[in-house]
């Protein structure tokens, strides 16, 4: 006999305040809280889940890789979007190298996630690349 898995929507409350994101700098500053001194060591990928008012309703760490990259599983990203009933999504990762220029892979994953979000009637609001000292916004640079 095969067993069936039960899936549930669960919420884990954290100490992060639900704030409204009005510009890319707000998103970058919020996401930077998730990094400690490893921002220049490991590449990590995070998502911010947003409601219709652009308030953060949740966040998740999708992956952590090595010094030159991390794998982003789009199914996991979409699972969080669906589970939270998010209307908007901001994706973010860091570049341990300190170089803010998006790689070809960064551009590719952004386009893929944006297309998948459309199917769910969710908007990819931004993709933020962080370094220890600064950030790059796809939205601010007309790349979305």
pLDDT digits (tens, 9 = 90+) for 131-140: 999 999 999 9
Is 1 among the domain residues? Answer: no
Q: Which two tokens stand for residue 94?
A: 């860091």
Give per-residue pLDDT as tens, 75-132: 999 999 999 999 999 999 999 999 999 999 999 999 999 999 999 999 999 999 999 9
Q: Is residue 124 part of a domain?
A: yes
Q: In which domain, by residue range, is 61 found?
A: 24-137
> Model confidence over 2-57: pLDDT tens digits?
666 656 656 666 666 779 999 999 999 999 999 988 999 999 999 999 999 999 99
11: left (phi over 0), alpha (psi -120 to 50) or beta: beta
In a domain, 14, yes or no: no
19 in a structural domain: no
The Cα–Cα gap between 82 and 80 comes to 5
Q: Classify residue 75: in a domain, yes or no.
A: yes
Residue 61, domain member (yes or no): yes
| Closest by CA position to 103, among listed 43, 18, 59 | 43
CATH code, domain with 51: 3.40.140.10
The total of other beta-carbon atoms located within 10 Å of residue 38's CB is 12
Residues 6 or more apart from 13 whose CB is under 8 A from it?
A: none
Decide if 30 is inside a domain: yes
CA distance 89 to 117: 8
- Which of 113, 102, 87, 91 minimizes the C-alpha distance to 143? 102
pTM of the model: 0.89
pLDDT at residue 18 in the model? 79
Count of domains forming the chain: 1
Which pLDDT score, from 0 to 100, does residue 17 have?
72
């Amino acid at each position: 006999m095969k067993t069936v898995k039960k899936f549930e929507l669960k919420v884990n409350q954290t100490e992060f305040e639900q704030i409204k994101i009005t510009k890319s700098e707000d998103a970058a500053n919020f996401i930077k809280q998730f990094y400690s001194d490893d921002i220049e060591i490991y590449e990590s990928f995070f998502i911010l889940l947003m409601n219709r008012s652009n308030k953060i309703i949740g966040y998740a760490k999708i992956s952590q890789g090595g010094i030159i990259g991390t794998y982003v599983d789009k199914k996991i990203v979409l699972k969080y979007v669906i589970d939270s009933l998010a209307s908007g999504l901001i994706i973010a990762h860091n570049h341990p190298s300190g170089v803010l220029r998006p790689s070809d892979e960064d551009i590719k994953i952004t386009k893929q996630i944006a297309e998948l979000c459309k199917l769910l009637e969710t908007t990819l609001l931004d993709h933020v690349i962080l370094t220890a000292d600064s950030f790059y916004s796809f939205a601010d640079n007309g790349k979305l």
